[in-house]
């Protein structure tokens, strides 16, 4: 089988890349280890930055997002006895949208299906070959057990943090930077109307807590827990009690409404960057090249920003034989990657608590500065609402 771009991974990065390439008349084939059902039901990100919304609008995929998503002007930053609204629209003129990654994925899958995109789900043994030649290829076993080979001009590694693309970069050229954090998030989805109009990020001596949402009827909430926490040790009542305590139930007349918990999971927190994002005819995009802890709501938005750079670079390379954008892709993408890596680290270390009384005072001082100084608030707003595509 032959195509111009073999895309490994049908998460947001891979699906969006196939869409943007098709807009330029470039053929691609998508291969994915999971079933379509699994990809469409995975609970992940919830916040779209301004630049992501602009891009989805520009390619005609913003209709359901505007009809069913919720536009937020900002977020609340909180610590015991205090809650402050950071208004991104006032500060930097940009808003964010609550629209689940699951919904973005559904919109992309349905657009790709309508366009007749070639997609293989439930593949195994994915392997990349000859990436430093002009004739790379991908091999895998399809869902019926048949061995398949796809020859391509380019391979796009959009296979997330566990895929094989990252390791297909020769060890002699690749470099990694990594930070693990001494805490995880316990995330729950609950069938209850959100108790807040916009997201609450709460510092608390017992640990960070966050109140997010998916719709007017579904809340998404998180609690900082120690690494290695077993979900089984957190009953629904224990979760609601901890959320009530950390989010300030009963303070200034605010109350946290409880409801049935429909999903519970523990997520480790990690920062990771692998460079370069291109070697020969292999280009990495999204979580395949970098992971950020979720506190800055940046992972999905970074994946979108990578692909927004990669698609025109591949179009110039494959249609006009121009190498310039392809050559600068890694450097161009990494500027934003490191900015978002820093922002996500900053939000994470400002809000998660540990047994360090000196550190706690610094965190509280930083939070007070962000909430009370326009310069402080603007820094958060500019990074959170999203730097323009091409930053």
Task: List, by residue number, the catalytic residues.
Answer: 72, 201, 294, 298, 384
Instruction: Say which entry of ligand PHB, ligand RFL, none residue 31 contacts (CB below 5 to 8 A, set by partner kind).
Output: ligand RFL
Instruction: Say which entry of ligand RFL, ligand PHB, none residue 389 contacts (CB below 5 to 8 A, set by partner kind).
Output: none
When the beta carbons of 300 and 326 are compared against ligand RFL, the nearer one is: 300
Q: Is 103 in the site for ligand RFL (CB under 6 A)?
A: no
Stretch near ligand PHB under the rule CB under 6 A, chosen from 42-50, 59-67, 161-169, 236-244: 42-50
Q: Which of 157, 248, 286, 294 binds ligand PHB (CB under 6 A)?
A: 294
Residues that bind ligand RFL (rule: CB under 6 A) add up to a total of: 36
Q: Is 195 in the site for ligand PHB (CB under 6 A)?
A: no
Q: Is 46 in the site for ligand PHB (CB under 6 A)?
A: yes
For residue 294, what are its two tokens? 């979720």
> From CA 173, how far away is CA 202, in angstroms rounded?
41
> From CA 348, how far away is CA 224, in angstroms rounded?
11
When the beta carbons of 3 and 212 are compared against ligand PHB, the nearer one is: 212
Q: Is 74 in the site for ligand PHB (CB under 6 A)?
A: no
When the beta carbons of 218 and 360 are compared against ligand RFL, the nearer one is: 218
When the beta carbons of 7 and 200 are compared against ligand PHB, the nearer one is: 200
C-alpha Rg value of the chain to the nearest Å:
21
**Nearest approach, Cβ of 106 to ligand PHB (angstroms)?**
16
Q: Which of 150, 156, 158, 169 binds ligand RFL (CB under 6 A)?
A: 158
Q: Which of 169, 199, 297, 318 binds ligand RFL (CB under 6 A)?
A: 297
Q: What pairs with residue 97 in β-bridges?
A: 48, 71
Q: Which of 69, 74, 194, 299 binds ligand RFL (CB under 6 A)?
A: 299
116 dihedral zone (left: phi>0; alpha: psi -120 to 50; beta): left
- CB atoms closer than 10 angstroms to residue 43: 15
**Nearest approach, Cβ of 30 to ligand RFL (angstroms)?**
9
In degrees rounded to 5, what are phi and psi of residue 128? -105, 140
When the beta carbons of 197 and 323 are compared against ligand PHB, the nearer one is: 197
For residue 219, what are its two tokens? 């809340």
Q: Is 297 in the site for ligand PHB (CB under 6 A)?
A: yes
Is residue 203 within 8 A of residue 79, CB to CB? The reply is yes
**Nearest approach, Cβ of 362 to ligand RFL (angstroms)?**
26
Q: Is 136 in the site for ligand RFL (CB under 6 A)?
A: no
Which is it for the CA torsion 255, 260, 262, 268, positive or negative?
positive
> From CA 127, how far away is CA 8, in angstroms rounded?
10
When the beta carbons of 140 and 240 are compared against ligand PHB, the nearer one is: 240
When the beta carbons of 266 and 360 are compared against ligand RFL, the nearer one is: 266
In degrees rounded to 5, what are phi and psi of residue 365? -65, -40
When the beta carbons of 82 and 142 are compared against ligand RFL, the nearer one is: 142
CA angle 289, 293, 295 (to 5 degrees): 140
> From CA 185, how far away is CA 202, in angstroms rounded?
13
Element of type H or E holding 271 = strand 261-275
Which residues make Cβ contacts (< 8 Å) with residue 197, sequence separation at least 6?
Answer: 72
For residue 230, what are its two tokens? 């077993």
Classify burial at 266, counting beta carbons within 10 Å of its beta carbon; exposed 0-12, middle 13-18, buried 19 or more: middle
CA angle 155, 279, 314 (to 5 degrees): 50
Binding mask 146-185 for ligand PHB (x = CB under 6 A): ----------------------------------------
Is residue 371 within 8 A of residue 284, CB to CB? The reply is no
For residue 129, what are its two tokens? 């070959």
Instruction: Say which entry of ligand PHB, ligand RFL, none residue 101 contacts (CB below 5 to 8 A, set by partner kind).
Output: ligand RFL
Q: Which of 5, 47, 123, 387 binds ligand PHB (CB under 6 A)?
A: 47
Name the site residues for ligand PHB (rule: CB under 6 A): 45-47, 199, 212, 220, 294-295, 297
Name the site residues for ligand RFL (rule: CB under 6 A): 8-14, 31-34, 39, 44-47, 101, 123, 126, 158-160, 162-164, 187, 267, 286-287, 294, 297-301, 303
């Amino acid at each position: 089988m032959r195509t111009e771009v073999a895309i490994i991974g049908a998460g947001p990065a891979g699906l969006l890349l196939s869409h943007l390439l098709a807009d330029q008349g470039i053929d691609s084939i998508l291969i994915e280890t999971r079933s379509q059902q699994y990809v469409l039901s995975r609970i992940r990100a919830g916040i779209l930055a301004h630049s992501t919304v602009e891009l989805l609008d520009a390619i005609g995929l913003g209709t359901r997002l505007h009809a069913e998503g919720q536009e937020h002007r900002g977020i609340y930053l909180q610590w015991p006895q205090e809650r402050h609204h950071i208004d991104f629209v006032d500060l930097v003129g940009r808003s964010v949208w609550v629209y689940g990654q699951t919904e973005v994925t559904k919109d992309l899958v349905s657009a790709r299906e309508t366009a007749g995109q070639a997609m293989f789900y439930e593949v195994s043994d994915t392997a990349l070959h000859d990436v430093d030649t002009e004739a790379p290829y991908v091999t895998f076993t399809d869902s019926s057990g048949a061995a398949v080979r796809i020859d391509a001009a380019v391979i796009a590694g959009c296979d997330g943090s566990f895929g094989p693309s990252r390791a297909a970069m020769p060890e002699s050229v690749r470099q990694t930077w990594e930070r693990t954090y001494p805490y995880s998030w316990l995330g729950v989805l609950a069938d209850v109307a959100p108790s807040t109009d916009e997201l609450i990020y709460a510092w608390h001596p017992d640990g960070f807590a966050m109140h997010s949402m998916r719709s007017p009827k579904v809340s998404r909430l998180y609690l900082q827990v120690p690494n290695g926490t077993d979900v089984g040790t957190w009953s629904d009542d224990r979760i609601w009690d901890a959320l009530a305590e950390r989010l300030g139930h009963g303070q200034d007349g605010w109350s946290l409404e409880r409801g049935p918990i429909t999903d519970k999971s523990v997520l480790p927190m990690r920062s990771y960057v692998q460079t370069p994002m291109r070697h020969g005819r292999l280009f990495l995009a999204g979580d395949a090249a970098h992971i950020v802890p979720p506190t800055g709501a940046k992972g999905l938005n970074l994946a979108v920003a990578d692909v927004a750079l990669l698609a025109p670079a591949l179009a110039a390379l494959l249609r006009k034989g121009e190498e310039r954008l392809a050559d600068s892709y890694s450097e161009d993408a990494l500027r934003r990657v490191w900015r978002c890596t820093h922002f996500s680290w900053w939000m994470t270390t400002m809000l998660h608590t540990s047994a360090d009384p000196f550190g706690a005072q610094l965190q509280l001082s930083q939070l007070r500065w962000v909430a009370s100084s326009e310069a402080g608030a603007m820094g958060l707003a500019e990074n959170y609402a999203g730097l323009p595509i091409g930053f």
